[in-house]
Amino acid sequence: MTERKPPGVSFENWVDKQIRESMDNGGFDNLPGAGKPIQDLERPYDELFVQRKLKAEGVPADELLPTPLKLRKELEDLRGRVAKLHAERSVREVVTELNDRIRDWIRFPIGGPPVHVVPVDIEKVVEQWREDRATPAEPTTAAPKVAVRKRWWHRLLGGAEPNG
């Protein structure tokens, strides 16, 4: 369909003619998705475009949140985030950086809903991090109990363990 639009013919009539000719020649037969409903037809196009673009670019949807909501979400996820860290210094750096951003928001609240966010107590986060690290993770599967065979001398001693 590389022919030029003839002079004197409206663009709409010319395009309609090309579509009709293509349909008559079978140009639209056996297209993928033929006979199936169009997905997400009831959703607004701009919403679909943004969602697909974010997915294609690998950008999490949280990046679109207003600053106070983003900070609130980070506060909720803080324990899981610091649990992955191996050094106390790293935990303190993460919490300090988050507290700096919270204080900036409190000083200059530009945009977003009025959400109450306050800086986090670094010492409490570090203490919780230490407790989480001290508690061993529970095994996902229990090891089968192995029957210990008593030796002949244990039976002679009445089941008591010998010292030494």
pLDDT tens-digit readout, 60-70: 888 888 888 99
- Least confident segment among 2-11, 14-23, 24-33, 115-124: 2-11
Q: Within 10 Å of residue 94's Cβ, how many Cβ atoms?
A: 19
Per residue in 93-122, pLDDT (tens digit) is 999 999 999 999 888 888 778 888 899 999
The domain of 89 spans 65-134
**Within a domain: 120:** yes
Q: In which band, very low, low, confident or very high, does the pLDDT at 164 lie, cut at 50, 70 and 90?
A: very low
At 49 the pLDDT is 85
At 159 the pLDDT is 56
* Residue 127 to residue 121: CA distance in whole angstroms: 10
**Within a domain: 45:** no
**92 is written with which tokens?**
């303190």
DSSP letters, 70-92, are HHHHHHHHHHHHHHT---HHHHH
Q: What is the dihedral of CA 88, 92, 93, 97, to 10 degrees?
A: 160
At 32 the pLDDT is 84
CB 66 within 8 A of CB 113: yes
**Within a domain: 145:** no
**Within a domain: 161:** no
* Residue 99 to residue 83: CA distance in whole angstroms: 18
